[in-house]
Amino acid sequence: MKYDYLIVGAGLFGSIFAYEAKKRGNRCLVIDKRHHTGGNIYCEKVEGINIHKYGAHIFHTNDKEVWDYVNQFAEFNHYINSPIANYKGDLYNLPFNMNTFYQLWGTKTPIEAKAKIASQIEELNIQEPANLEEQALSLVGKDIYYKLIKGYTEKQWNRRAVDLPAFIIKRIPVRFRYDNNYFNDRYQGIPIGGYNVIIEKLLKGIDVRLNVDFFKDKNELAKLANKTVFTGMIDQYFDYKYGSLEYRSLKFEHEILDCENYQGNAVVNYTDNDTPFTRIIEHKHFEFGEQSKTVITKEYPQDCGKEDEPYYPINDKKNNLIYRKYLELAKKEKNVIFGGRLADYKYYDMDKVVKRALEIVQNEFR
- The identity of residue 339, as a single letter, is G
Out of 5, 154, 237, 248, the active site residue is: 248
* Cβ pair 100, 86 in contact under 8 A: no
Q: Look up 175 and say whether it is catalytic.
A: yes
Beta-sheet pairing, 312-313 with 247-257: antiparallel
DSSP string, 315-342: -SHHHHHHHHHHHHHHHH-TTEEE-STT
Query: Which helix or strand (DSSP H or E) is residue 43 part of?
Result: strand 43-46
Out of 4, 143, 309, 349, the active site residue is: 349
**Edge-to-edge strand ranges of the sheet holding 294-303:** 90-93, 84-87, 267-270, 279-282, 294-303, 247-257, 312-313
Q: For residue 4, what are the contacts with CB-CB under 8 A and spacing of at least 6? A: 21, 26, 27, 28, 225, 226, 227
Out of 279, 282, 326, 348, the active site residue is: 279
Q: For residue 239, what are the contacts with CB-CB under 8 A and spacing of at least 6? A: none
Strands (E), 169-262: 187-189, 207-209, 225-230, 247-257
| Chain CA centroid to CA 122, Å | 35
d(CA 298, CA 53): 11
Q: Is the dihedral of CA 154, 157, 159, 163 positive or negative?
A: negative
d(CA 238, CA 256): 41
Out of 20, 299, 344, 351, the active site residue is: 299
Q: Look up 209 and say whether it is catalytic.
A: no
CB neighbours (10 Å) of residue 210? Answer: 13
Out of 171, 220, 258, 290, the active site residue is: 171
CB neighbours (10 Å) of residue 355? Answer: 17
Question: Using the 8-state DSSP alphabet, how is residue 203 labeled?
Answer: T
Out of 242, 309, 347, 364, the active site residue is: 347
Out of 42, 79, 133, 175, the active site residue is: 175
d(CA 351, CA 188): 10
Q: Look up 279 and say whether it is catalytic.
A: yes
Q: Which residues are identified as catalytic?
A: 171, 175, 248, 279, 299, 347, 349
